[in-house]
Amino acid sequence: MNERMEMVEASRRLVELDLNRGSSGNISLRLGKHFLVTPSALPPESMKPEDMVLMDIAGHVLEGERPSSEWRAIQIGEPRILSDLEMEEVMEKFRGYWRR
């Protein structure tokens, strides 16, 4: 399974577990100097792999439409996340982070 589909499935699972509702929260996946982030205002049940937004670390959209607005919290509020070479994924649920 590819990364984009895994992000769709993880987003749907968060709703199933009642950890997110509607289009709240986001999932991002670091890909070297880029990252994928879930799209803005799109509920997980409507997401498709091609809806994931590819961005560079400066915040420029490289592929896709509008990224979830929470990606700014990762870039601005948590700069150590972007510089942590070992971290690959970030899930934001309300005000907390889960990292792997």
The residues annotated with a catalytic role in the active site are 70
3-class SS shares of the chain: helix, strand, coil, % to 5: 30, 30, 40
Residue whose token pair is 């990292």: 99
Residues in contact with 19: Cβ distance below 8 Å, sequence separation at least 6, in sequence order: 25, 93
DSSP state of 51: G
SS3 31: strand
